[in-house]
Every structure is written in C-alpha cells, then in structure tokens.
C-alpha cells in the first residue's frame, strides 16, 4: 500500500502524457478534487501518541479520519504535528517528539524527513528556495538564548544555516523583504532583514504567539500572557515603517493552536479569548477598518475551545474543541453570521486547519 501511494504522483504524470492537450483541464480538475479540503491537525499531546489528521471535504460534507495514516499505510503518527505549511507543491509538518520536519506531496504521501539541526520546530514560512523554521532549540522556557531559525535549502532539504534568535519564536511571517518572528518568551517581535540577516526588535506589551498577514503585507500579532499580565490583545504592525499599534483584549488564548484568523474578506479577525484548563471562553471579533473589538462575542461559553480557522473558499468559521490529549475532540462550523451549522468529530486536541484547493 505504501509503495503504491509513493508511485501515485509518477502514475498521474504518466497518464498526462497519454491524453490530448484538450484534456489537460480535466486532469487538473480531477487532481484538485482529490486534494481539495480542510485538513485538521489533531495534535493529541506531547508524547501522548494520539496525533492524527482528519480530512474534511466541505463540498460533500465527507469526513475522513486518520487521513495521513491511510495515505501512508501507517498505524499511527510517531511525532505530534505542531503546524503544517503548504508551499510549492509540498506540505511541511513541524513535528515534536521525535523532532523533525516531515515533507509530503499534496496527497499527504511522505517523501522526506528532515532531522539534522531541527530541535522543537514550531512554525515556518517559505521564501524562494528556502524554508525558515522557528525552532525552540530545547527547553527555551528555562533558557531563552537557545532558540533559533533554521534556514532550510529546499533543493536539498537540509539545514543550510542556523540563525540565533533568542526568545522562542512561535510564529514567523515574511513581509516587505523581512522575516518577522513572534517571540513567545520575550515582549517583542523580531525583525530580520532577509538580505543581511541582521535582526532588530519591535517591543510589545506582552509575549507574542502568532502572526497574521493581510493583503496589504502588514501584520497582526496576538499578545498573550503565561502569567497574569494586563497587556494582552492584538497589535498591528505596519511592515513598511515597523510601527506598532496595540488593541487590548483580556484573556487572549495562549494555546499552541490557531488562536486567531482573518475573515475571507479580511474585514474581521476572529480571536479566541479564554481562561482556565480546560479552557472556557469564546471568540471576539475585531473590525479591521474601525480597529475596534465588537462588544458582543461571536460565540461564548465554550468549554475546551482550542483553535479557530476560516475557510478561504466559503468564509465559514471552524472552531476546534479539545477534550484532552487522549480524548476525541470536535469541530463546530459557523456561518459568518454566527449561526452554528454543524458539528464534526475529530481526533484528540485539534489545533489547526490546512486548506487546500
């Protein structure tokens, strides 16, 4: 089974040569229909052995559990997928314990595993022939100096360079020729000039978790506190000037998940605000034009609220619910008006959705 799936891309390519040029569009549509969908990363838990990927075909309302395992003939995923990134026809999984970067094709068939110089990978972003990976480097919460950015040459799938970046980056984005890193253990966003690799810092009111890039190449960063800080909320970074503006909101989630998401038209940002463990809270809406939070929450009072994503095709909001590292979670799907449309079962601790079209 595993060998058959590995041959599938080559069989598809061979089939293309056997049809006329007039059929090319049909072949592309067939391949797109096979890959199209939302892929939910069920993190499970650190060393819990309960990780999985669920595929949701939102056109047919079909759910496929253990999708990655099925595609590769594995009984389980050995590493917990922290984050998945689609770039240049491949998918890159940031995996924890054992630490590695798993490379697959768009059918989720494993092609390569990068292990050298990869310690606790958290997030990544592609630029040209390189993948920049935020790595904690070890127990960064006890020593913030050990974290770094791994610069991976995608032609060889090897770490070409380790760039020291103290502070434990949780998320990275590239805008205006610069790499931005949200530092989870420092009140700052790091800014690296991609041409010189020189690093500067933008001071924030709290530790940072994740970055969102809008259509104008500017950034939003979530500000969280692992203690009881008063500086939580969102911040907006003008990447031309690197000026930052703060918008306070209490209890922004510090979960290792997708804690905020842009609406399809980028007029709103959905932000998880929660307290306690298991987390109890809801989703607040930030208006990107008025730069204000709406008074009424989008949803509220949800136990186990863990992550939020927006379907870029139809604009529906996916909310991920975690019931623990070894217990199945679920996904609630809402219309843009806040109406709950359906609830789907997922694996343990769902955290992110990767959309392919």
Say yes or no to pLDDT of 237 above 90: yes
Length of the chain as a residue count? 357
Total Cβ atoms within 10 A of residue 201: 15
Question: What does the CA dihedral 245, 284, 42, 58 come to, rounded to 10 degrees?
Answer: -110
pLDDT score for 46: 85
Do the beta carbons of residue 191 and residue 180 sit within 8 Å?
A: yes
Residue 241 pLDDT class (50, 70, 90 cuts): very high
- What's the average model confidence in pLDDT over 223-237? 88
Instruction: Tell me what percent of the residues of the chain surpass a pLDDT of 90.
Output: 84
Do the beta carbons of residue 318 and residue 331 sit within 8 Å?
A: yes
Do the beta carbons of residue 163 and residue 179 sit within 8 Å?
A: no
pLDDT score for 351: 96
Q: What residues form DSSP beta bridges with 38?
A: 56, 355
pLDDT score for 74: 85
- Characterise 14 by phi-psi region: left (phi > 0), alpha (psi -120 to 50), beta (else): alpha
pLDDT score for 47: 86
pLDDT score for 228: 63
DSSP 3-state assignment of 69?
helix
Residue 14 pLDDT class (50, 70, 90 cuts): very low
Quick: pLDDT tens for 272-317. 999 988 899 999 999 999 999 999 999 999 999 999 999 999 999 9
Annotate 250-293 with three-state secondary structure. CCECCCCCCCEEECCCCCEEEEEEEECCCCEEEEEEEECCCCEE
| 232: exposed, middle or buried (Cβ count in 10 Å: 0-12, 13-18, 19+) | buried
Residue 25 pLDDT class (50, 70, 90 cuts): very low
Residue 24 pLDDT class (50, 70, 90 cuts): very low
Say yes or no to pLDDT of 208 above 60: yes
Rounded to whole angstroms, the Cα distance separating 81 from 97 reads: 9
- Strands 80-87 and 243-248, by their bridges, are unpaired
- What's the average model confidence in pLDDT over 197-212? 97
Total Cβ atoms within 10 A of residue 289: 8
Quick: pLDDT tens for 77-104. 889 999 999 999 999 999 999 999 999 9
pLDDT score for 215: 96
- What's the average model confidence in pLDDT over 191-209? 97
| 194: exposed, middle or buried (Cβ count in 10 Å: 0-12, 13-18, 19+) | middle
pLDDT score for 16: 31
Say yes or no to pLDDT of 252 above 60: yes
Quick: pLDDT tens for 123-169. 999 999 999 999 999 999 999 999 999 999 999 999 999 999 999 99
pLDDT score for 345: 98
Say yes or no to pLDDT of 23 above 60: no
DSSP 3-state assignment of 62?
strand
Say yes or no to pLDDT of 4 above 80: no
Beta-carbon contacts of 171 under 8 Å, excluding residues fewer than 6 positions away, are: 122, 123, 134, 181, 182, 208, 209, 210, 211
pLDDT score for 6: 37
Do the beta carbons of residue 110 and residue 122 sit within 8 Å?
A: no
Question: Global pTM?
Answer: 0.90
Two tokens, residue 28: 């592309």
Say yes or no to pLDDT of 258 above 60: yes
Token look-up 């079962």 returns 345
Do the beta carbons of residue 56 and residue 331 sit within 8 Å?
A: yes
């Amino acid at each position: 089974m595993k060998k058959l799936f590995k041959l599938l891309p080559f069989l598809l390519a061979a089939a293309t040569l056997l049809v006329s040029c007039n059929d090319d569009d049909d072949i592309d549509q067939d391949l797109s229909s096979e890959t199209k969908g939302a892929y939910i990363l069920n993190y499970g838990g650190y060393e819990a052995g309960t990780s999985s990927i669920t595929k949701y075909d939102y056109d047919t309302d079909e759910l496929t559990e253990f999708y990655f395992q099925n595609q590769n003939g594995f009984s389980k995923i050995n590493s917990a997928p922290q984050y998945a990134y689609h770039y240049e026809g491949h998918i890159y999984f940031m995996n924890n314990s054992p630490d590695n970067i798993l490379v697959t094709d768009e059918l989720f068939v494993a092609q390569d595993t990068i292990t050298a110089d990869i310690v606790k990978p958290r997030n990544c972003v592609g630029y040209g022939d390189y993948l920049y990976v935020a790595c904690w480097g070890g127990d960064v919460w006890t020593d913030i100096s050990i974290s770094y950015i791994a610069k991976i040459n995608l032609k060889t799938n090897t770490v070409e360079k380790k760039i020291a970046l103290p502070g434990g980056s949780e998320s990275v984005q590239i805008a205006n020729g610069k790499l931005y890193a949200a530092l989870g253990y420092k009140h700052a966003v790091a800014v690296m000039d991609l041409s010189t690799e020189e690093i500067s810092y933008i001071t924030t009111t709290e530790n940072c978790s994740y970055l969102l890039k809008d259509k104008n190449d500017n950034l939003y960063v979530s500000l969280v506190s692992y203690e009881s800080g008063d500086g939580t909320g969102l911040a907006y970074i003008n990447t031309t000037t690197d000026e930052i503006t703060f918008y306070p909101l209490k209890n922004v989630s510090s979960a290792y998940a997708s804690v905020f998401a842009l609406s399809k038209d980028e007029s709103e940002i959905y932000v998880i605000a929660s307290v306690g463990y298991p987390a109890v809270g809801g989703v607040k809406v930030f208006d990107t034009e008025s730069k204000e939070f709406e008074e009424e929450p989008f949803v509220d009072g949800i136990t186990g609220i863990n992550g939020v994503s927006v379907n870029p095709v139809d604009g529906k909001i996916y909310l991920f619910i975690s019931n623990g590292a070894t217990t199945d979670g679920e996904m609630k799907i809402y219309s843009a008006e806040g109406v709950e449309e359906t609830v789907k079962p997922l694996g343990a601790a769902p955290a992110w959705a990767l959309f392919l079209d």
